[in-house]
């Protein structure tokens, strides 16, 4: 009996198809993605059944964290530049063009104008540390938050207000924020929530 010769198979696999798939998926992700915005603190928003989506542009975000620190930011780098210049002139803080540039790259900032310069001079990785974010004061004695909202409104009249707060934020802080908005006659705003399962109605 002749010995059957085992044919040595080549291990070469044609990668073309796999490459096609990989790049197809890559294209999909590149086109559909909008990057997650970097937030200085992590907040867990409460859930609701509301299904209204928040628009992506012309948004003024007010972030309130668990401890009650208020962060503020608007979208659009051009608008942010105008905002910080306005705030600097109101609070008589002189910022260098380089510091203004740094501010425009930040999504949300939670520092009063007095501490702004020191904050912007920090290295990027130190900015998220809790001790470097003092929170914008929103109480009745020193309501800097109101100035931010007012200036942002002057910079971009189409802004919609979105409040994003942590579930565990104590109510008095939310009340202060809402009161400040009320005083500015900003009576319509959005509360950002997560979607929860549809409720059972009996």
Chain residues 135-174 in contact with other proteins, contact rule CB under 8 A? 162, 164-172, 174
Q: What gap in Å lies between CA 138 and CA 180, rounded to an integer?
A: 7
**With CB under 8 A as the contact rule, which of the stretches 21-29, 100-108, 120-128, 134-142 interacts with other proteins?**
21-29
Q: What gap in Å lies between CA 163 and CA 28, rounded to an integer?
A: 31
Q: What gap in Å lies between CA 103 and CA 97, rounded to an integer?
A: 10
**183 interacts with other proteins by CB under 8 A:** yes
Task: Give the nearer residue to other proteins in terms of CB position, either 21 or 122.
Answer: 21
Question: 11-25 burial, b for 16+ CB within 10 Å, e for fewer?
Answer: eeeeeeeeeeeeeee
**With CB under 8 A as the contact rule, which of the stretches 125-133, 134-142, 143-151, 190-198 interacts with other proteins?**
190-198
Chain residues 27-66 in contact with other proteins, contact rule CB under 8 A? 29-30, 32-37, 45-54, 64
Task: Give the nearer residue to other proteins in terms of CB position, either 154 or 167.
Answer: 167
Task: Give the nearer residue to other proteins in terms of CB position, either 36 or 141.
Answer: 36
Question: 185-197 burial, b for 16+ CB within 10 Å, e for fewer?
Answer: ebeeebebbeeee
Counting every residue written for the chain, the total comes to 202
Q: Dihedral, CA atoms, 75, 76, 77, 83, nearest 10 degrees?
A: -60
Task: Give the nearer residue to other proteins in terms of CB position, either 9 or 201.
Answer: 201
Name the residues that contact other proteins, by CB under 8 A: 14-16, 18-19, 22-23, 25-26, 29-30, 32-37, 45-54, 64, 162, 164-172, 174-175, 178, 181-183, 185, 187-195, 199-202
């Amino acid at each position: 009996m002749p010995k059957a010769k085992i044919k040595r198979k080549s291990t070469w696999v044609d990668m073309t198809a796999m490459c096609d798939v990989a790049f197809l998926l890559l294209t999909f992700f590149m086109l559909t993605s909008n990057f997650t915005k970097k937030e200085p603190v992590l907040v867990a928003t409460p859930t609701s059944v509301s299904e209204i989506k928040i628009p992506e542009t012309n948004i003024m975000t007010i972030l309130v964290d668990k401890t009650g620190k208020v962060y503020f930011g608007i979208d659009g780098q051009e608008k942010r530049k105008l905002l910080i210049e306005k705030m600097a002139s109101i609070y008589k803080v002189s910022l260098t063009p380089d510091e203004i540039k740094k501010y425009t790259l930040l999504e949300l900032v939670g520092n009063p104008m007095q501490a702004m310069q020191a904050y912007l001079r920090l290295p990027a990785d130190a900015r998220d540390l809790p001790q470097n974010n003092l929170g914008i004061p929103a109480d009745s004695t020193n309501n800097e938050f109101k100035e931010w909202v007012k200036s942002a409104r002057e910079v971009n009249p189409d802004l919609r207000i979105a409040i994003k707060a942590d579930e565990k934020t104590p109510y008095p802080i939310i009340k202060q924020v809402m009161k400040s908005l009320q005083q500015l006659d900003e009576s319509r705003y959005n509360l950002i929530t997560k979607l929860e399962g549809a409720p059972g109605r009996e």
